[in-house]
């Protein structure tokens, strides 16, 4: 029976396939897309992705039901937390100006299967998000006309009472998605122009809301008579932060568009910073004027802004608010439809998804097939499915992508930078010559063929050694000398995994320790201390290694602290989601694994780049100074009969 078990070498090779990283082109600016987007274009795309219906609905909901006027503080904290993730995206977008966003960033630093799963989840996230916004757009417009569209559809088409299906087919939501798909397929320039129009109207309405809101503001609405500024205390503020965090999830459209930016090294970081700053400011100021216009406990969660103007005697302002809300939802639709086909294109271009989606139209220079197919799928979702139960799925996909991008930043920062080396090709069968005039300079290693990739240099002056990224810092070597035997970056990778496991355990105790697990106080405190120590020790171990020096592109400050804080926050918010969301997430992951192992792993372009095994009888390293005596095993090629040389035959190499 043992013969049917896989050999250890096969398992090792299989794991290497799963964790292989993407090989980037020498010229990353070369692309089949049209690099036509400026910093302003990217900024407005980011604002359009973040400032959607949430500005008109989320502010009133959080203010009335969760935090009160302290929703302002909730948005400030949520904006800072989003900034940690956004800075990670900004560094990657500048260093790797390729479409694909979180999928691409994970692929170039962590590994193939993880990148595929991130792309697979982001794919569903955009589809559900776009369909949900289309249904909200339809419902908002329908409410202006006293639900005549809904009543007409139920009367002439009928209503459904089927689980997971909507109560009635929403033809209006499907139609707006089809129209948006048509505009997106005309190219990035047309999409950007359309986004400019809707964003300008939306920002004009927001400016009107702020001016009129401050004119009508009444500071007594924050007084103790109305419940005070923070009626639910710190717990209400933090609960509001968890909800407000999802208002900022649209900035990744900028990273997904980096392959169409004229100067991505400068435009992507600036656009992310500008858009996140403007979106945070808009949420904070609108929340401020909303809770100052009317008492927070009297807000209408469904239409807080329009209702606030109506109660202050400005019913006509409700029409402007409705127009701004519809334009804001249009920008979110465009953002989803703009990003989704490009992520699918990146996966198909790498061979991990069906090749048909990697085709770019020669005239419009956009992946038209991906836009049309996924636009139709999104319209179908909006037409017949009940999306309310699936909306939470958006959160887990986004938070998982944020977590892997933050981890990827740490791994990439402590990796050695790949440099092109073009050694002169020796003549066939020629042996290296140790002639003095051709020998290497003092202290330089000349490598011909090494039988072990783990051979270390001997008898070298470590005080004069140039430290590469991923190597232990010289100050820590006397205390952590045993770590110097590892490859540069190996210890950091293990520490990142340990950090993430510690963060998961720590957040699990915080979320479930007192409620689901019912831990006694002593064990609750002990586990918190242990997992906190594991997290901090992993962080210190990463910090004890050299990282890449400043490059010409943007770099997030305080690495590894900033990405580590982002990882903890994202994991904590993921664990706060319902168990049904996790169950659906697991089912979707299983489907993704079927696609990957059935198609992606076999068609991956990295699979074609893998070198084939070569027959080498012996390999050795020659050092310019010092001496090295090793025993090298003679290797007999497997295809030849093992005669003449026994398996244990060895030879002595001496320099």
Who wins on pLDDT, 502 or 440?
502
Per-residue CA distances from 272 to 38, 39, 334, 472, 556 (Å)? 13, 9, 17, 33, 13
Lowest mean pLDDT among 28-42, 156-170, 214-228, 434-448: 434-448
Query: 571 pLDDT band (50/70/90 cuts)?
Result: very high
| Bridge partners (DSSP) listed for residue 631 | 652
Predicted confidence (pLDDT) per residue in 509-557, tens digit: 998 988 888 889 999 999 999 999 999 999 999 999 998 876 778 889 9
CA gyration radius, the chain: 29
Give the percent of the chain with pLDDT over 70. 84
pLDDT value for 451: 37
The yes-or-no verdict on residue 627 having pLDDT over 50 is: no
Give the percent of the chain with pLDDT over 90. 45
Who wins on pLDDT, 262 or 450?
262
**Residue indicated by tokens 């302003």:** 40
Contacts 24+ apart (CB under 8 A), 583-588: 584/390, 584/393, 585/121, 585/393, 585/396, 585/397, 588/120, 588/121, 588/124, 588/393
CA distance 139 to 145: 10
Query: Closest Cα to residue 495, out of 466, 525, 446, 535?
Result: 535
Our measurement of the distance from residue 386's CA atom to the centroid of its chain's CA atoms, rounded to an integer in Å, reads: 27
Query: 432 pLDDT band (50/70/90 cuts)?
Result: very low
Torsion angle, CA of 253/254/257/262, rounded to 10 degrees? 160
| Bridge partners (DSSP) listed for residue 472 | 545
pLDDT value for 578: 81
Secondary structure (H, E, C), 311-345: HCCCCCHHHHHHHHHHHHHHHHHHHHHHHHHHHHH
Q: Is 6 buried (19+), middle (13-18) or exposed (0-12) by CB count in 10 A?
A: exposed
Query: Closest Cα to residue 544, out of 495, 468, 467, 472?
Result: 472
The yes-or-no verdict on residue 6 having pLDDT over 90 is: no
Predicted confidence (pLDDT) per residue in 218-270, tens digit: 999 999 888 889 999 888 898 888 888 888 888 889 999 999 999 999 999 99
pLDDT value for 466: 60
pLDDT value for 418: 59
Question: Residue 186 is encoded by which pair of tokens?
Answer: 């005309």
**Residue indicated by tokens 């459209």:** 253
Residue 387: what are its φ and ψ, rounded to 5°?
-95, -5
The yes-or-no verdict on residue 150 having pLDDT over 90 is: no
Predicted confidence (pLDDT) per residue in 275-325, tens digit: 999 999 999 999 999 999 999 999 888 778 888 888 888 888 888 888 888
**What value does the mean pLDDT of the chain take?**
83
pLDDT value for 637: 45
CA distance 538 to 499: 5
Q: Is 426 buried (19+), middle (13-18) or exposed (0-12) by CB count in 10 A?
A: exposed
CA distance 358 to 600: 14
Question: Residue 496 is encoded by which pair of tokens?
Answer: 């990142």
Who wins on pLDDT, 633 or 79?
79
Whether the Cβ atoms of residue 137 and residue 173 lie closer than 8 Å to each other: yes
Per-residue pLDDT, averaged over 149-174, amounts to: 84
DSSP annotation of 355: G
**Residue indicated by tokens 């050092």:** 623
Query: Closest Cα to residue 190, out of 369, 365, 376, 378?
Result: 365
pLDDT value for 4: 61
The yes-or-no verdict on residue 217 having pLDDT over 60 is: yes
pLDDT value for 419: 53
197: number of Cβ within 10 Å: 12
pLDDT value for 158: 80
pLDDT value for 464: 44
The yes-or-no verdict on residue 370 having pLDDT over 70 is: yes
Predicted confidence (pLDDT) per residue in 34-91, tens digit: 889 999 999 999 999 898 777 887 888 899 989 999 999 999 999 998 999 999 999 9
Who wins on pLDDT, 486 or 646?
486
The yes-or-no verdict on residue 561 having pLDDT over 60 is: yes
pLDDT value for 117: 95
Who wins on pLDDT, 613 or 65?
65
The yes-or-no verdict on residue 630 having pLDDT over 80 is: no
Who wins on pLDDT, 67 or 655?
67
**Residue indicated by tokens 């956009």:** 366
């Amino acid at each position: 029976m043992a013969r049917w078990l896989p050999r250890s070498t096969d398992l090792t090779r299989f794991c290497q396939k799963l964790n292989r990283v993407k090989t980037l082109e020498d010229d990353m600016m070369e692309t089949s897309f049209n690099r036509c987007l400026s910093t302003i274009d990217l900024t407005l795309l980011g604002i359009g992705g973040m400032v959607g219906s949430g500005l008109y609905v989320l502010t009133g909901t959080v203010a009335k039901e969760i935090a009160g006027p302290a929703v302002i503080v909730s948005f400030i904290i949520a904006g800072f937390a989003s900034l940690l993730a956004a800075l990670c995206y900004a560094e990657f977008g500048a260093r790797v100006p390729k479409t694909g966003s979180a999928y691409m960033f994970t692929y170039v630093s962590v590994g193939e299967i993880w990148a595929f799963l991130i792309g697979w989840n982001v794919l569903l996230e955009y589809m559900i998000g776009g369909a949900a916004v289309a249904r909200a757009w339809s419902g908002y417009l329908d409410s202006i006309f006293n639900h005549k569209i809904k009543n007409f559809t139920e009367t002439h088409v009928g209503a459904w009472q089927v689980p997971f299906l909507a109560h009635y087919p929403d033809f209006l939501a499907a139609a707006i998605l089809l129209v948006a798909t048509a505009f997106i397929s005309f190219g990035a320039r047309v999409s950007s122009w359309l986004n400019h129009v809707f964003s300008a109207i939306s920002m004009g309405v927001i400016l009107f809301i702020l001016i009129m809101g401050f004119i009508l503001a009444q500071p007594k609405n924050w007084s103790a008579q109305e419940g005070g500024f923070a009626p639910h205390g710190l717990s209400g503020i933090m609960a509001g932060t968890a909800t407000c965090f999802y208002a900022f999830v649209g900035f990744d459209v900028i990273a997904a568009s980096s392959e169409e930016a004229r100067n991505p090294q400068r435009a992507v970081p600036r656009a992310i910073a500008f858009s996140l700053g403007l979106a945070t400011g808009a949420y904070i100021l609108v929340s401020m004027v909303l809770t100052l216009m009317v008492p927070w406990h009297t807000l209408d969660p469904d239409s807080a802004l329009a209702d606030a103007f109506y109660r202050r005697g400005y019913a006509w302002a409700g029409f402007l608010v409705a127009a701004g809300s519809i334009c804001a939802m249009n920008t979110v639709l465009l953002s989803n439809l703009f990003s989704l086909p490009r992520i699918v294109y990146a996966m198909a271009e790498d061979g991990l998804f069906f090749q048909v989606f990697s085709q770019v139209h020669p005239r419009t220079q956009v992946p038209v097939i991906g836009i049309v197919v996924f636009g139709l799928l999104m319209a179908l979702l909006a037409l017949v499915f009940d999306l309310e139960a699936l909306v939470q799925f958006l959160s887990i996909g986004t938070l998982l992508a944020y977590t892997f991008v933050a981890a990827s930043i740490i791994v990439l920062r402590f990796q050695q930078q790949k440099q092109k080396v073009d050694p002169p090709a020796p003549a066939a069968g020629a042996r290296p010559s140790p002639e003095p005039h051709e020998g290497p300079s003092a202290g330089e290693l000349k490598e011909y063929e090494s039988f072990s990739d783990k051979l270390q240099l001997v008898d070298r002056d470590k005080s004069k050694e140039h430290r590469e990224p991923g190597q232990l810092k010289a100050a820590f070597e006397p205390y952590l000398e045993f770590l110097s035997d590892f490859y540069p970056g190996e210890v950091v990778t293990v520490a990142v995994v340990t950090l993430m496991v510690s963060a998961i355990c720590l957040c699990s105790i915080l979320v479930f320790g007192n409620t689901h697990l019912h831990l006694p106080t002593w064990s609750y405190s002990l586990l918190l201390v242990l997992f906190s120590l594991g997290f901090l020790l992993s962080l210190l171990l990463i910090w004890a290694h050299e990282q890449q020096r400043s490059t010409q592109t943007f770099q997030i400050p305080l690495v590894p602290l900033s990405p580590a804080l982002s990882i903890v926050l994202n994991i904590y918010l993921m664990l706060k989601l319902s168990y049904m969301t996790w169950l659906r997430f697991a089912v979707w992951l299983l489907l993704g694994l079927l696609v990957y192992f059935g198609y992606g792993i076999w068609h991956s372009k990295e699979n074609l780049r893998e070198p084939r095994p070569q027959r080498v009888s012996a390999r050795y390293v020659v050092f310019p100074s010092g001496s090295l005596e090793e025993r090298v095993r003679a290797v007999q090629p497997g295809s030849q009969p093992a005669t003449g040389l026994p398996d244990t035959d060895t030879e002595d190499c001496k320099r």
